Structure 1
Amino acid sequence: MNAPWTLSRLWPSKFTLLLLLSVQALATGISLDVDSDESIKSAASTVVYDLITFYTGNNTGDVAGNLPSPYYWWEAGGLFGSLINYWAYTGDDTYNDITVQALIHQAGSDGDFMPANQTLDEGNDDQCFWAISAMMAAERNFTNPPSSDPGWLAMVQAVFNEQTTRWDASTCDGGLRWQIFTWNAGYDYKNSIANGCFFNIAARLARYTGNATYAKWATRAWDWTETVGLIGSSYEIYDGSSDTTNCSSLDNDRWTYNTGVYLLGAAIMYNYTSSLSTNASTNTSSIWKARVDGLLSSANHFFSTNSSSENVMYERQCELIDNCDTDELSFKAYLSRWMAEAAQVAPYTYNTIMSYLRATAQAAVAQCEGGSTGTYCGFEWTTGTYDGSTGVGQQMGVLEAVQGLLIGSVRGPYTASTGGTSKGNSAAGTGDSSDSAVSFSPITTADRVGAAILTAAILGGVLSAVYLMIS
């Protein structure tokens, strides 16, 4: 009588033990030795594997380069930049084919990252994020497109040329608007990320090609951003300002990626001007060095000073109140990326930047205990425990923090004179551009009334037809 009862009591105990062992095996997370390149590469490989599970653009019937809802198009551009860096830093080419496919497809028929499926809702920063990934491809000698397609460099030149025509001096004495077209919310907003991305690609084009025109535009973009007050006296980068007030008041929000995009642009301008041999360029190089130093000091704003999480990055504007939206969950990825790249083109910053990235990477990897694999990564790196979230932004953030530790072991970005192979076209984007293809007249009140009348008439006709069919 007792044996079956005893056996039944033992089975749950054994099952519970096995379950606990299985859960423990699943939740081991990712180990990382920040002093071992092999450990860093292994950790990055695990993180990127989980990252790609969110990508659906290579599924039958889907669109190459697109991320599913709730992710916006610009973040997909950021994703493929992370994959280019992953290959450049680790040598693993597993994701190269889908990256080439995505960039070419989303460059569109004009090679300017204004594809038909995105253009009507596209902002200057959206376009520029894809252009930055193409610039990374050129600088890293990534697999080139087929000869029938524009080269990575030509794609970036097309975006640059188009954006120079959008420089708007009618308000705020210049600057790019956030949005390209009048019908999009945010058209009356001139912000740091749109102008910072333009500044970033102009600086990179100057360094890659040696053409001083790009450098002049980079300087112009910096000067405007500083004059209008979006770059503060201590190199704080504020979010933006409305042109309806002629940029007289600022949105003082500070985001990681805004600081990052200006930091790398300034570091590249420092690198570019340091390579020139005139006395004037030496003075200019000193100016850019001071800006790099100021931005790097300003970046302290985004790193914890708590003893338990010192030097660990966090998104100060929204993370502390658990209120980061889908876009904002990815911002830390870009600051990590651009800090690492700045350490390469401005080598004197390497030790300072690595002190941040090493602490951040170690803390970020400790968040990777989620999902079906037990290695999906969370967002709140300063807490020391997995926060239960998963997503593209979370994965990209950890990936860039981890793989950025390899920056001292890889070759610096190429230029056209040091072995860069990307095909350029300085006139790209200067003919019939995608802007004019969709540049409709502004919608007026009369248009809206007329559209309402037309809609009512059509609806009445449809209802009448249905009534007759039913009768």
Structure 2
Amino acid sequence: MTSRIISLLAPLAGLLHLTSGLDLDLTSIDSIKSVTSTLAYDMMTYYSGNQTGQIPGLLPGPCDSLECYYWWEAGAMFGSLINYWQYTGDDSYNPVVIQALQFQIGPEENFNPPNQSKNMGVDDQDFWAFSAMDAAEAGLPDVGGDTPSWLALAQAVFNFQTTLWEDSTCGGGMRWQVYAFNAGYNLKNTISNGGYFQLAARLARYTGNQTYADWAIKMYDWMEASPLFQTHDDTLYIWDNTDANNNCTDVQHFAWTYNYGTMLMGAAALYNYTGGAEPWGTRVFEILDGAFKLFFPEEYGGNVMTEFQCESTMVCNNDQSSFKAYLARWMAVTALIVPDTYDLIMPKLRESASAAAQQCTGGASGRACGRQWYAANDGSSGVGQQMQALAVIGATTINPGIAPKTANTGGTSESKPDAGTDVGNAPIPQHSPITTADKAGAAILTLMCVGVIVGGSIWIIL
């Protein structure tokens, strides 16, 4: 009888396990390390680029279905693993990170590999550059030899993207896509322009080079004057994109966590670089206030992060399912390098972390994370969902000992200000113009092919 009762209760015990979430105690660093270790492990089950015959650095693709991940998100994932190393001291993923970042270097010695360059957006490249900056700021040793340093990779991306600045439409800014034949080339969006702004600001902070700061300021000023930035009821709205075909007179009213996070990190870096000079303090608090009002609604207690544009309706795609990771990560850094924000930021990170952990109850493992931190597990799963939980839970460990380094505070990555400028910046093969002789030759070849096909067909029939 006893064994029968136990057998009947066993499935219920499984259900209780599946609904309990990850056992997270934010007062215990050992608990945080254990949970983030689990999250990182489960995230990396999606990655096979370090296996024989696979391509290092890439997540499942190509993207002709919902079950794929674009190149940029893979770059972001490796940045999250660098942060994981900082948060926990666990360096077990560092070799995989180094392999992936190095493999995705293109012929221009930046992140513009031939297998991605033809459909590359500016923002795609930015997230790989952010991971290179993460490596430099975390003190990950350069590979050495002929391999570009982490800092040089970020500098090469900056140099490449600076050539994309365009005064002829909208008075400045950069287009979303690098090449005109790609869909979306007409758009000037926040994540591309904001990504360049953040990269330039972080380079200024790391190197002390004012040229990077000048470009960051130029980009911020352009964005602030464009429809991408609008203030209503004392709230700063950072919208998603504007159309260069209309000279940037309109704007798409979508607000995403990663856009706020991108701008926040850049503003915080310039605040720190300038020693707290205005207007950077004001701008940091404006961006932070807008993020708090939009993404931490009172409906869920005011301290739990949401991606309100898509979470509640369950329409987030794989990209959007990772966005909260970047706001969480960059809020944590801001809390360190803009100290007056610490007491505002940390309660939101801690409550979001607790909420994220409790809903990681999905999948066959019973611990896969979903998107909706304010509710029970929503049934979704993926790289982005794992990365978001990993980022926000790890961010609760932020402390001055892991503040991003600079060249003056222990950073050792080798600087190369002209990185990428001594090689061509056009990865797409260039062909000679088609001449009249070429056209005549092509016509003759075409007629010959037609003749062979017709003749062969007659021979078969006869």
| TM-score normalised according to structure 2 size | 0.90
Residue 461 to residue 331, structure 1, CA distance change in 2 (3 Å): farther
Return the offset for 1:17: 2.4
Q: Distance in 2 between matches of 1:388 and 1:455?
A: 58
Alignment-derived partner of residue 95 in structure 2: 97
Alignment-derived partner of residue 248 in structure 2: 247
Alignment-derived partner of residue 64 in structure 2: none
Secondary structure, counterpart of 2:238 in structure 1:
coil
Return the offset for 1:359: 1.0
Residue 439 to residue 178, structure 1, CA distance change in 2 (3 Å): farther
Q: Distance in 2 between matches of 1:20 and 1:79?
A: 36
323, 337, 344: which one aligns with 1:345: 337
Residue 88 to residue 468, structure 1, CA distance change in 2 (3 Å): farther
Alignment-derived partner of residue 264 in structure 2: 263
401, 404, 409: which one aligns with 1:418: 409
Is 1:44 the counterpart of 2:36? The answer is yes
Secondary structure, counterpart of 1:333 in structure 2:
helix
Alignment-derived partner of residue 74 in structure 2: 76
Q: Please say if residues 141 and 412 of structure 2, whose CA atoms lie closer than 8 Å, have aligned partners that are also in contact.
A: no
Q: Please say if residues 151 and 423 of structure 1, whose CA atoms lie closer than 8 Å, have aligned partners that are also in contact.
A: yes
Alignment-derived partner of residue 273 in structure 1: 274
| TM-score normalised according to structure 1 size | 0.88
Amino acid at match of 1:262: M
Is 1:154 the counterpart of 2:152? The answer is yes
Is 1:287 the counterpart of 2:279? The answer is yes
107, 115, 120: which one aligns with 2:113: 115
Secondary structure, counterpart of 1:363 in structure 2:
helix
Cα deviation code 1:138-168 (max 9, x no counterpart): 0110132232200000000000001111101
Cα deviation code 1:423-454 (max 9, x no counterpart): 12111121333x3231759x99xxxxx9xx99
135, 138, 142: which one aligns with 2:136: 138
Secondary structure, counterpart of 1:423 in structure 2:
coil
Q: Distance in 2 between matches of 1:230 and 1:27?
A: 41
Residue 43 to residue 454, structure 1, CA distance change in 2 (3 Å): farther
Return the offset for 1:291: 0.2
Alignment-derived partner of residue 168 in structure 1: 166
Is 1:298 the counterpart of 2:290? The answer is yes
Cα deviation code 1:90-139 (max 9, x no counterpart): 10011000000000001223321000110101010001110000001001
Amino acid at match of 1:392: V
Q: Distance in 2 between matches of 1:342 and 1:462?
A: 70
Q: Which moved more, 1:320-329 or 1:97-106?
A: 320-329
Q: Distance in 2 between matches of 1:190 and 1:211?
A: 27
Return the offset for 1:13: 5.3
Q: Please say if residues 24 and 31 of structure 2, whose CA atoms lie closer than 8 Å, have aligned partners that are also in contact.
A: yes
Alignment-derived partner of residue 65 in structure 2: none
Alignment-derived partner of residue 86 in structure 1: 84
Q: Distance in 2 between matches of 1:221 and 1:410?
A: 31
Secondary structure, counterpart of 1:126 in structure 2:
helix
26, 30, 35: which one aligns with 2:27: 35
Secondary structure, counterpart of 1:235 in structure 2:
strand
Is 1:21 the counterpart of 2:22? The answer is no
Q: Distance in 2 between matches of 1:83 and 1:169?
A: 38
Secondary structure, counterpart of 2:242 in structure 1:
strand
Q: Please say if residues 310 and 359 of structure 1, whose CA atoms lie closer than 8 Å, have aligned partners that are also in contact.
A: no
418, 425, 428: which one aligns with 1:438: 428
Amino acid at match of 1:436: A
Q: Distance in 1 between matches of 2:398 and 2:6?
A: 48
Alignment-derived partner of residue 61 in structure 1: 53
Q: Please say if residues 239 and 253 of structure 1, whose CA atoms lie closer than 8 Å, have aligned partners that are also in contact.
A: yes
308, 319, 334: which one aligns with 1:327: 319
Residue pairs, 1:161-200, within 5 angstroms:
161-200=159-198
Residue 111 to residue 454, structure 1, CA distance change in 2 (3 Å): farther
Residue 470 to residue 210, structure 1, CA distance change in 2 (3 Å): farther
Cα deviation code 1:400-438 (max 9, x no counterpart): 0000001126331111122211112111121333x3231
Residue 203 to residue 465, structure 1, CA distance change in 2 (3 Å): farther
Alignment-derived partner of residue 201 in structure 1: 199
Cα deviation code 1:293-327 (max 9, x no counterpart): 10110002111212x54311111111122211111
Cα deviation code 1:319-355 (max 9, x no counterpart): 1222111111111111111111111111111111111
Return the offset for 1:469: 9.8
Secondary structure, counterpart of 1:190 in structure 2:
strand
Q: Which moved more, 1:411-420 or 1:112-121?
A: 411-420
Alignment-derived partner of residue 379 in structure 2: 388
Residue 439 to residue 235, structure 1, CA distance change in 2 (3 Å): farther
Q: Distance in 2 between matches of 1:135 and 1:427?
A: 16
Q: Distance in 1 between matches of 2:444 and 2:241?
A: 39
Q: Distance in 2 between matches of 1:145 and 1:160?
A: 20
5+ long unaligned stretches in structure 2: 62-67, 435-439
Identity within the alignment, %: 46
CA RMSD of aligned residues (A): 2.8
Q: Distance in 2 between matches of 1:432 and 1:342?
A: 36
Q: Distance in 1 between matches of 2:58 and 2:20?
A: 32
5+ long unaligned stretches in structure 1: 1-6, 275-281, 445-449
Alignment-derived partner of residue 4 in structure 1: none
